A and B are shown apart, each in its own frame.
Chain A
Amino acid sequence: MFGLLGPNGAGKTTLLRLLLGYIQPTSGRATIGGLDCQRQSVAARQLVSYLPGEARLYRGMRGRDVLRFFAQVRPGGDFQQALRFAERLDLELTRRVAFMSTGMRQKLAFAATMSTDSPLLILDEPTSNLDPSVRATVSEMIAEAKLAGRTVLFSSHVLSEVEEVCDRVAILRAGRCVHTQVMSELRRRHRLAASLVGDVPAVPAELADSVRVSSCSQGELVIEADELSSLLRWLATLPVTEIRAEPIGLRAVYDRFHAGKDATA
């Protein structure tokens, strides 16, 4: 599961639209499964199921008809599966799209998107407009897709959500990928803030490779480390009055590239 993060205008949606063949690249090329997204767009889209950020559906159709249409229009679409997803999302399928709330429409589009057997799911902010309980169900369904061996490309404005579900995250800035973060590595990393009596000593040479000193001043030492035991052993030899340990969240990584900007992607 691959997450896309970046502030507004960073190029997340543009990247997704490039992959879908909606727009042409000014330079370079995009491929999905080795298929060129421009010249072999139809074949490439056969591998993809896409949920736009703000899904617009045919307003005159009833929910059930929308699911049937999208199941029939794509090879491998499964109407029964779509109905099962709709039931889990508590959708009222007899209602016309025009009379559905934004959240209902989003859920309907999500059910239609998930009901295919395509190996790649591209979800552009799938949980926007959804209430917290439905968000949990959606996250659960995305996790099930991942367990079923499908690749999920996930763009979201909610850092915690990306942190929770993604295996890897790309951070975009001004149309460029500035950092790719493997989440399992991030989850191992911790930040330790220690208060010391007197001057702060230099970090021993044997620890220098595995830790990063974030700040060091006036008896306060903030260190980020992958592995805690050796660091704690060293700190135990120092006149420490207080230690606070916390996992490094995605926000810290994100802020490294977008400090001073909106904390959401």
Chain B
Amino acid sequence: MIHVLLRRRIDEAKWLLAACSITMVWFCWLRVWLVSRLDTGRFKEILDLLPSDWQRYTPVDFSWLITYEGRISLAYDELVVVGCVSIWAIARGSDCVSGELGRGTLEMLLAQPLSRRAVMLSQAGVTVTGAAVLAFCAWFGTWCGIHTLSAKQVVTPAFHLPIPLPFIGSDIPIPFAEPETVYIPLVDLVDAGLFAPASVSLFMFGLMIAGFSTLVSSWDRYRWRTIGIVVGVYVVQTVVKLVGMSTDELAWMKFLSAFTAYEPESFVHIADKLPQFTWSFTMRDSDGTWIGYGPMCFHAIMASIGVASYAVALRVFARRDLPAPL
């Protein structure tokens, strides 16, 4: 019985999932392509034009952000990527109870010998799996970009005098020709595996949004009201996070927003610079000094919110009276 229900859920969701997946792969590939077209030096020039205050809006240094890894990691903060996961999570989560109630199909479904738990879990299973698929698609699009594209770089042919400079310890490059544009395969410059933590973070973000949407849906009876409430909370959480980032006085507000746990570029930075902490809950240096919370801690916060929301949603749905369809 459950597999029939699951098949039904997949059938309901397949087109949205397909559209979001294709968008995700295509956009992430496109993002890598854009990165490959822009020379690092040029990007640095753009960042140099930004006021220094803008640094506070990113959890990593600008100096790292201009690297290929840094620039590609920004894709996970792009509206299209976050939007695809959010649309999926809100659309499927809100449909769970209030959507079915609104359409009146829940009545016929629950006339069958199916528990409310099975009805909700089948929906949740497909939604969470879909979020995982989308997160994988983001990584896969990035991987495809890195493995199919070459970075444009301007190099000046030079030979190096084997005379070490005092204090610098380097030798002197002597250019002997005009600068030329060369294309270096991105795969030689960037390791696609670095973006796995960002994809995991994206999945956890989806899980959190889906869980919260399902919670509101389990209590509500109108899908559009459910979507309105979820989007309202989403906007408030985003604003709280941005306000918390904007000034030192209001930095405490960051901790009021669950979205603070979604910092994909920070996780890619850790994977790049401190790979031993990529999957750690806490980070301490070799003498045990505290560095900070590890990426897994942030993943766990979002996963906990998502799972707890699903647990409460199950309880609410199991106990509520179901209104007759309008």
In the complex with contacts A69-B4, A75-B1, A22-B107 CB distance below 8 A: yes
- Complexed CA–CA distance, A73 and B1 (Å): 5
A36-58 residues at the B interface, CB under 8 angstroms: 41-43, 45-46, 48-50, 52, 54-58
Chain A residues with Cβ below 8 Å from B322 are 17, 22-23
Chain B residues with Cβ below 8 Å from A2 are none
In the complex with contacts A45-B113, A70-B112, A23-B321 CB distance below 8 A: yes
Does residue A31 face the partner (Cβ distance < 8 Å to B)? no
B114→A42 contact, CB < 8 A: yes
Chain A residues with Cβ below 8 Å from B4 are 69, 72-73
Contact for A45 among B12, B107, B111, B325, CB less than 8 A: B111
Closest to A118 in B: B113
Chain B residues with Cβ below 8 Å from A42 are 113-115
- Complexed CA–CA distance, A46 and B110 (Å): 11
Does residue A84 face the partner (Cβ distance < 8 Å to B)? no
Does residue A24 face the partner (Cβ distance < 8 Å to B)? yes
The 8 A CB mask of A169-186 against B (1 = contact, 0 = none) is 000000000000000000
Chain A residues with Cβ below 8 Å from B1 are 72-75
Closest to A56 in B: B104
- Complexed CA–CA distance, A109 and B112 (Å): 13
B105→A22 contact, CB < 8 A: no
Chain A residues with Cβ below 8 Å from B112 are 45, 70, 73-74
Chain B residues with Cβ below 8 Å from A52 are 107-108, 111, 325
Could you say which interface size class chain B belongs to?
A: 20 to 34
Does residue A194 face the partner (Cβ distance < 8 Å to B)? no
Chain A residues with Cβ below 8 Å from B114 are 42, 45, 73
A48→B105 contact, CB < 8 A: no
B93-144 residues at the A interface, CB under 8 angstroms: 103-105, 107-115
**A contact residues, total (Cβ < 8 Å):** 31
The 8 A CB mask of B254-295 against A (1 = contact, 0 = none) is 000000000000000000000000000000000000000000
Contact for B113 among A24, A43, A72, CB less than 8 A: A43
- Complexed CA–CA distance, A258 and B120 (Å): 43
Does residue A20 face the partner (Cβ distance < 8 Å to B)? yes
Does residue B324 face the partner (Cβ distance < 8 Å to A)? yes
Chain B residues with Cβ below 8 Å from A50 are 111
Chain A residues with Cβ below 8 Å from B104 are 54, 56
A13→B113 contact, CB < 8 A: no
Chain B residues with Cβ below 8 Å from A58 are 8, 12, 105
The 8 A CB mask of B1-28 against A (1 = contact, 0 = none) is 1001100100010000000000000000
Chain B residues with Cβ below 8 Å from A48 are 111
Nearest CB on B from A39, distance (A): 11
Does residue A95 face the partner (Cβ distance < 8 Å to B)? no
Closest to B3 in A: A72
Instruction: Name the residue in B12, B324, B325 with the highest tally of chain A Cβ atoms < 10 Å from its Cβ.
Output: B324
Chain A residues with Cβ below 8 Å from B5 are 73
Does residue A59 face the partner (Cβ distance < 8 Å to B)? yes
- Complexed CA–CA distance, A24 and B114 (Å): 17
A22→B321 contact, CB < 8 A: yes
Contact for A56 among B8, B12, B325, CB less than 8 A: B325
- Complexed CA–CA distance, A70 and B115 (Å): 15
The 8 A CB mask of A1-31 against B (1 = contact, 0 = none) is 0000000000001000100111110000000
Nearest CB on B from A119, distance (A): 13
A46→B113 contact, CB < 8 A: yes
The 8 A CB mask of B307-326 against A (1 = contact, 0 = none) is 00000000000000110110
Chain A residues with Cβ below 8 Å from B324 are 13, 17
- Complexed CA–CA distance, A73 and B122 (Å): 13
In the complex with contacts A56-B325, A58-B105, A73-B1, A20-B110 CB distance below 8 A: yes
Nearest CB on A from B11, distance (A): 8
B105→A57 contact, CB < 8 A: yes
- Complexed CA–CA distance, A69 and B5 (Å): 8
Instruction: Name the residue in B12, B112, B114 with the highest tally of chain A Cβ atoms < 10 Å from its Cβ.
Output: B112
- Complexed CA–CA distance, A22 and B318 (Å): 10
Nearest CB on B from A207, distance (A): 49
Chain A residues with Cβ below 8 Å from B8 are 58, 69
Closest to A46 in B: B113
A209-245 residues at the B interface, CB under 8 angstroms: none
Instruction: Name the residue in B109, B113, B114 with the highest tally of chain A Cβ atoms < 10 Å from its Cβ.
Output: B113
Question: Can you name 12 extra interface pairs (CB under 8 A) apart from A45-B112, A45-B113, A60-B12?
Answer: A22-B322, A42-B115, A45-B111, A45-B114, A48-B111, A55-B108, A56-B325, A58-B105, A72-B1, A72-B4, A73-B5, A74-B112
Closest 6 A/B residue pairs (Cβ): A56-B104, A50-B111, A46-B113, A23-B321, A22-B322, A72-B4
13 contacts between A and B (CB under 8 A): A17-B324, A21-B110, A22-B322, A23-B321, A23-B322, A45-B111, A48-B111, A52-B111, A54-B325, A58-B105, A59-B103, A73-B1, A73-B109
**B residues bordering A, Cβ < 8 Å?**
1, 4-5, 8, 12, 103-105, 107-115, 321-322, 324-325
